[in-house]
Chains A and B, each alone.
Chain A
Amino acid sequence: MPEDLKLKIADIVFSILPTDGIKGFSLNKNYTPFAADGEPDVVLETIRNGNPLLIKGGLSGEKTLFNTTLWNYEQADGRHIFNFSLSPKNNRPQRILALEPDYKKGKIILTKVRGLKNGILQSPFIYPIDQLLMISLLPLMQGLLVHSCGFKYKNKGYLFIGQSGAGKSTLSQIAGRNKGVHVLNDDRIAVRKKQGRFYVYGTPWHGTAEIVSSEKAPLAGFFFLKKDAKNSLRELSVPDIVSRLFKFSFLPFWDREGIASALKICEDIAVSIPCFEFSFTPDDRAFELIRKEVISYT
């Protein structure tokens, strides 16, 4: 019997089961550090050539609630249905992610099989299926996926937040040159509260520097990036931190409960972890300032 693929991301174990002619999976290299064992928290079955109508069969009251250029979200009988890469001809999706109301059990349905060689499916967990599942789950598990880079230094985690072009990959490379610094990711970091403490986790979803790590560290400080001609730190008010953190988190806009939890987590982080706006230059002086002014005191 084909074995399932297990991935552990942010201490959440995903089990992906091959069925229906799929003998196994191959992993893209950004996922290999996340292959793991353990009791799964989320179980996904892959179904090949599934008829979306049959799969969705019996689901009454289907309604598209969220629509983008790449995917849409429907809800039917409390179940979450994400349709990906809709054909302009017949609106038929290439893949479907159908999840139970708690997001912990579901199916990945391949209506158009691509990347299947000798029964081995390449990357069942591809963009944006993986991240949409993660951002739906995390707020319900005391967590957030944040648009940021982050590193671990002396067993503490530091998070640098900003949108595309803010300098996350550049800063990751600068920090990574320093002895003892372990970069967790240069574009997406998961934050979770466990046993009353916030942790930062590397994820497989890298930016242009292509840095991934499956390690974690207790969160000791976080920063909002601002490119500048000199390096400086500025304290921010709690409401400012909450609104910025909310903005730079990936949010489940289709889930009222998830959005409420995400906002609460932003507030919780803002009041419990040191935070600054970090104006920085793209060179070694940036890391030096963080090391002297923040790392020494946290």
Chain B
Amino acid sequence: MSALRNAKRLRSGIATVSAALPGQGMLWMFLVAMPLATTLYCLGCGRIKLSCLEALATLAGAAGLGPLPDQLHAAVVLNARLPRTLAALFAGAGLSASGAALQGCFRNPLVGPQTVGVLAGAGFGGSLMLFLSFGAPFVITGAFTAGLVSTLFVVWLARRLGQGSILMMVLSGIVVGALFAAMTTILQYLSDPERQLPQLVFWLMGSFSMVNFTKFVWMSWPVIIGMIILAGYGFRLNALSCGEEEARSLGLRVGRDRTVIILTVSVIAASVVSVAGIVGWVGLVVPHAARMIVGPDHRRLIVGSACIGGALLVAVDTFCRSLTAAELPVGAVTAIVGAPVFLALLCKAGKQGWSHD
């Protein structure tokens, strides 16, 4: 009887939430539950396997909601897996939301955070600090600063050369990205092949293996605040995606709005690169998948992309750390997964019709 009553309550709760999100209530419940369930499942994956319930009990015990079931489980989940899994969750969510925002901002489905040069810039900043043998806080600060500098440089170039036009913005991003990538290559060439080069190369490939709670906290605040800002700009992004003239005629201050969005994306991307290196493709591919599920309205798309991207990067990171004894680089795996998926999405979306000139 009690189980029946609970099932009725659950059904009534689901109906209430579904009514609050008309038409797509169940879909949104699934989208929000997906990264949480993936995180919980992945916390149990690895050499020491735990069920979802064991992982949940360990988290509850750590939060003071019950006894800690097992010291070994607690050590594995809380110290080894939780920081990197949460970092992957936030990184995936932040990069995907950034990609969705940039695609709307540039009205171009082929751009991602790398388009504005921020990934290459942040990669150079972090590499420079590693090359100079500075510690983790300096690597984070260096990556963050260089990422922002590269973006500001791109925005300045686009304004100077093309009055902030989208084409000039994208071209400037490519040029600045190539410049920072070349400088990173020079650093690799000059670095000590025994001591610095492996560390530098592995960091640039993208990995969450070095993430601890301190680094996660460093990364999470800019990502959370950035995602909130992007979600707030969702409705304006719809109008921005119609092009500058239409957006201006609809009453938007296009230059100001675009600058805010690009700087926000830069802060998110630089924060992610600073702790996890360069994780490409997520910001490009995930918004396309999200657009097919929740539609093109950026108010939904930003949130949907964040949910899917967070779940995806947690799964990829778990795959990378669990497949072999030595970790696979996350950036390489996201590229291997992302390229064919992107191709498939392009084919499908092309048939559905991106009207684009």
- The yes or no verdict on A and B being binding partners is no
Binding site for B on A (CB under 8 A): none
Binding site for A on B (CB under 8 A): none
